[in-house]
Amino acid sequence: MKNFLIALSILLSAVSGITYSSVSVDTPPTVSTTVMIYGDSLSAGYGLPQKAGWANLLKKRLQTQSSVYQVINVSISGETTLGGRNRIEQTLKAHHPNIVIVELGINDGLRGLPIKSIHDNLEAIVEACQRNKAAILLVGMRLPPNYGTAYTQKFRDIYPQIAKRHKLKLVPFLLEGFGDKLEYFQADRMHPNERAQGKILKNVWKDLHKMLKSNQGIRNSVIK
């Protein structure tokens, strides 16, 4: 696990190219629920075939249940919480999501940026979503131990702190269950491979499914 996290530290921080990934299609007239994924390379499908990422798996799962669902992936490889904060208002106005899955922060942490800045940027993103009447599923990440016990723990605590304050659903760790298994990663030993995408979806789906069933922020949802 330690070797994986150190590799994650070196390689993920080096990903600076921008990869915009959208899995949306022409919106059918019946669409009434839009789920927007707002993340970095782990959600953008970095290094994967175009339709192999967990975002597309989510889209397929929802559309097999009902035509009312639309999944839009506006994740960008190398994205930081500041970048996410700067574009959130415009993105919300463009897509009018009912649910926003926020998966950001790891690139900030790997650069050793101030915990307060990461916290404040994530909170600003959450508050923007709430002002636009979108429900939020917050997704947490974890740092490698070589960043020091104090910093790594404070980073890890950001997500539950924000979730508790704003009463959000929380995925504690996106890579839970396979983060220490190299067979689920690409050659860079950092980005999840195609085999891992179903596991990521499983981690996200548990709470997303509850949000859909409870109609939190949703109009006319028929999830089963």
Domain residue spans of the chain: 2-213
**In the sheet where 69-73 sits, what is the strand order?**
69-73, 33-39, 99-103, 135-139, 169-171
The answer to whether 34 and 72 are in contact (CB under 8 A) is yes
Higher pLDDT: 40 or 179? It is 40
What's the pLDDT at 189?
84
pLDDT at residue 24 tops 80: no
Taking the C-alpha atoms of residue 106 and residue 156, their distance in angstroms, rounded to an integer, is: 10
What's the pLDDT at 50?
84
> pTM for the whole thing?
0.84
Taking the C-alpha atoms of residue 64 and residue 43, their distance in angstroms, rounded to an integer, is: 21
Mean pLDDT of 86-99: 98
Token code pair at residue 125? 């993103």
Collapsing DSSP states into helix, strand and coil, what is residue 132? coil
Token code pair at residue 58? 């989510």
pLDDT at residue 166 tops 80: yes
Taking the C-alpha atoms of residue 84 and residue 86, their distance in angstroms, rounded to an integer, is: 5
Q: How confident is the model at residue 144 (pLDDT cuts 50, 70, 90)?
A: confident
Q: How confident is the model at residue 215 (pLDDT cuts 50, 70, 90)?
A: low
Question: What are the residue numbers of the active site?
Answer: 41, 188, 191
What is the chain's mean pLDDT, rounded? 87
Could you tell me which residues come within 8 angstroms of residue 47 by beta carbon, excluding any fewer than 6 positions away?
A: 186, 188, 191, 193
What's the pLDDT at 32?
79
What's the CATH code, domain 2-213?
A: 3.40.50.1110
Task: Say which residue the tokens 């996410």 belong to.
Answer: 84
Taking the C-alpha atoms of residue 211 and residue 200, their distance in angstroms, rounded to an integer, is: 17
Collapsing DSSP states into helix, strand and coil, what is residue 56? helix
Taking the C-alpha atoms of residue 190 and residue 192, their distance in angstroms, rounded to an integer, is: 6
